[in-house]
Amino acid sequence: MMRSLYSGVSGLRTHQTRMDVIGDNIANVNTVGFKRSAVTFKDVFYQTLRGGSAGDSGGTGMGGTNPQQIGLGVTLGSIDVVHTQGAAASTGNGTDLMIQGDGFFRVTPDDGTTIYYTRAGAFHFDSQGFLVNVDGMKVLDSAGSPVQIPGMNDPSTMPQSFSIDKLGVVHYVDNSGQAQTLSNPISVAKFSNPAGLEKIGQSLYRETASSGAPGTDLSPGTGSLANTTIIPSTLEMSNVDLAQEFTDMIITERGFQANARTITTSDQLLQELVNLKR
């Protein structure tokens, strides 16, 4: 069977995968905190017809020859998450938070033993005073405890107002009119390789061996997070660039068509071979 058939099939498969990734990027163009993915290809192994040789130094005057190899197609190299900063969208909601710089909010679905990471800062305070995301997961402070304003579960002790500053510190005015501050700020975790985090859906990431553990600095504006701040009343939008995605879509479509044409042409050549015997 002709090698070009298998090369064409491998091209169809990889371009289909790239199209799947582009489709996901475009579908999430308005998803808060979404980070686009990019696909890279690489060539697979080669069949060597003749190896290379050095020139003859025995006086014959013959020069060296280069190896003769035939490639056998393409395969998926990587699908990388691009963690560039998304655009800021002002919401006017004091509990909507955006990270300016590197890092992720830490949220937990239970008592803090399982921690997920997110750039989607669409938070709100629930009836118990816990700061939670849209799925009810609790936001953690720098000490690893859920962020909670006391007294919100009882109308007689409910605070009069609250605010969050750029360092993630929660301020509130209690029922008696006294200004109070929570002892620990909202935490931000920074990874040396954020592209190694695993996407698990719901705008959440999970730590992996590739990402490594987050740094020990968890308070915005301190240590390795010195250039990281929190912008209240703002959400970070998707970093998907539609112009880039549509351009990639055109390139992917043409690549798919070219590989399909390779298969068609190879089939025509095989048909000619079959027709040799009438």
Q: Parse the chain into domains and list their residue ranges.
A: 3-45+69-81+240-274, 88-236
Task: Report the chain's mean pLDDT, rounded to a whole number.
Answer: 91
What's the confidence (pLDDT) of residue 57?
Answer: 67
Instruction: Give the least confident one: 25-29, 42-46, 230-234.
Output: 42-46
* pLDDT at residue 38 greater than cutoff 90: yes
Residue 236 parent element (H or E): strand 234-236
What's the confidence (pLDDT) of residue 36?
Answer: 96
DSSP 182: -
Residues 152-156, mean pLDDT to the nearest whole number: 83
Residues 42-48, mean pLDDT to the nearest whole number: 86
Residues 185-209, mean pLDDT to the nearest whole number: 95
What's the confidence (pLDDT) of residue 237?
Answer: 96
What's the confidence (pLDDT) of residue 55?
Answer: 74
* pLDDT at residue 59 greater than cutoff 70: no
Reading phi first (left if > 0) and then psi (alpha if -120 to 50, else beta), residue 135 is in alpha
What's the confidence (pLDDT) of residue 61?
Answer: 67
Could you tell me how far CA 264 lies from the centroid of its own chain?
A: 37
Quick one: pLDDT band at residue 3, thresholds 50, 70, 90?
confident
Residues 88-94, mean pLDDT to the nearest whole number: 94
What's the confidence (pLDDT) of residue 151?
Answer: 86
* pLDDT at residue 221 greater than cutoff 80: yes
10 Å Cβ neighbour count for 103?
Answer: 26
Residues 120-148, mean pLDDT to the nearest whole number: 93
What's the confidence (pLDDT) of residue 273?
Answer: 85
What's the confidence (pLDDT) of residue 60?
Answer: 66
CB 237 within 8 A of CB 122: no
Percent of the chain scored above 70 by pLDDT?
97
Q: Which of 151, 146, 149, 150 is nearest to 136 (CA)?
A: 146
Quick one: pLDDT band at residue 1, thresholds 50, 70, 90?
low
Burial 203-212 (b: 16+ CB within 10 A, else e): bbbebeeebe
Please give the C-alpha separations between residue 257 and each of 13, 131, 140, 266, 275, in angstroms, as whole numbers.
12, 50, 49, 14, 27
**Measured between alpha carbons, how far is 212 from 226 in angstroms, rounded to an integer?**
20
Residues 186-201, mean pLDDT to the nearest whole number: 94
